A = this chain, B = another copy of it.
Amino acid sequence: MTTHPPKGPTAPGTESLSQLGRQTVQPESPETAELERVPAPHKGRRYVVRFTAPEFTSLCPVTGQPDFAHIVIDYIPRDWIVESKSLKLYLTSFRNHGAFHEDCSVTIATRLVELLDPEWLRIGAYWYPRGGMPIDVFWQTGPAPDDVWIPAQDVPGYRGRG
């Protein structure tokens, strides 16, 4: 009854993937993490893809304490989309990496821009409070195109207690 039955690791356009549908190991650093891409479906249609990563964690570069963030990435593909399992492994590779909030957030976006050469991309990084006061970082590659639909990220602000 399955009309488009699962095709396994040899599905069209996925032959070269080294991680999807396979047992993988956690990369130890962002440098050694392998971000992979596949051809964007529906060429000529300008759509937005949003990834939400509520479990991002890295280290403070000065004190070594763990930092946590909720990260949301929006992009409009040109020729490529990112393969999501490799993106997940890339993001988890920051687990033992030390960097400032502003630096870390923009670095992730930069790596994706290099890989995908997207028409447009933005990142919102919503960091957990330190000293009672959270930092958020927002960056995009350029003005958002007027004619593509890009919903607000609408991550709720931090409210303290009570």
Contacts and interface: CB of A to CB of B under 8 A. Distances in A.
Nearest to A91: B133
As for how many copies of this chain the complex holds, the number is: 10
Interface size class, chain A: 35 or more
Nearest to A72: B157
Interface string A134-148: 111111101110111
Interface string A27-64: 01111100000001110011111111111010111111
Contact of A139 (B48, B91, B92, B98): B48
Nearest to A144: B149
A138 B149 contact: yes
A5 B99 CA distance: 9
13 contacts: A1-B28, A4-B29, A5-B64, A6-B59, A6-B60, A11-B61, A41-B100, A45-B106, A47-B105, A54-B133, A57-B66, A143-B147, A154-B157
